[in-house]
Homo-oligomer: A and B are copies of this chain.
């Protein structure tokens, strides 16, 4: 029974996590999984799996388990991953270029439909076949025309805040930021920051605590 209770942010992250092994199980032809089986695959507690899912509905069958295909479909709906999302990349250095080439994005429905760079040497070329690189000044227009919903920032940190402002001005309300600064954004927009060095520092710290 879907409650109006506050859903923990951690729950959303885990729901994403659950989808990965479910995809593999589906491909392998496994049709049923228990909360314990899924928990093992995701290194979490079985009760956690059940509680997380119960925030959104009753997807399992008591005494039986969860139907793999159905559960995956439900999770996709919960995460709005059952449709195509239109992304713009800003900054086509090493990271930006690698991102638009990630087939992992495309496979999950995250489609880069526009690319921008401030370097005149890059403008006019193609980031990947069919994805032309535009100057920043065309951003506003293209966001409208191409129906872009998510902006991905892969510029040097010094430009990142400026780019974020431009994206928000153009009407974009979701930003995935790969540059290692914290972006200041207005109410009603959402930002996810991805900083690899934070992960590395975490690894280093945890490494020193094991054993």
**How far, in Å, is A95 (CB) from chain B's closest CB?**
5
**How far, in Å, is A106 (CB) from chain B's closest CB?**
11
Knowing A182-B20, A182-B43, say if A204 contacts B97 (CB, 8 Å): no
Knowing A98-B95, A181-B20, say if A197 contacts B104 (CB, 8 Å): yes
- B85 close to A16 (CB less than 8 A): no
Q: Beta-carbon contacts of A187-211 to B below 8 Å, as 1s and 0s?
A: 1111010111111111111111011
Q: Residue of B at shortest CB range from A181?
A: B20
- B176 close to A203 (CB less than 8 A): yes
User: Which of the 9-residue segments A59-67, A73-81, A116-124 touches chain B?
Assistant: A73-81
**How far, in Å, is A167 (CB) from chain B's closest CB?**
13
| Distance of A21 Cα from B184 Cα, bound (Å) | 13
- A102 close to B196 (CB less than 8 A): yes
**How far, in Å, is A56 (CB) from chain B's closest CB?**
11
- CB interface residues, A 164-190, toward B, < 8 Å: 173-176, 180-182, 187-190
| Distance of A195 Cα from B182 Cα, bound (Å) | 19
- B85 close to A204 (CB less than 8 A): yes
> Which A positions have Cβ atoms within 8 angstroms of B?
9, 12-13, 16-17, 20-21, 41-43, 78-81, 85, 94-95, 97-99, 101-102, 104-105, 108, 110, 149-150, 173-176, 180-182, 187-190, 192, 194-208, 210-211
- A182 close to B16 (CB less than 8 A): no
CB<8 Å pairs between A and B, sample of 5: A150-B203, A150-B204, A173-B210, A188-B211, A194-B196
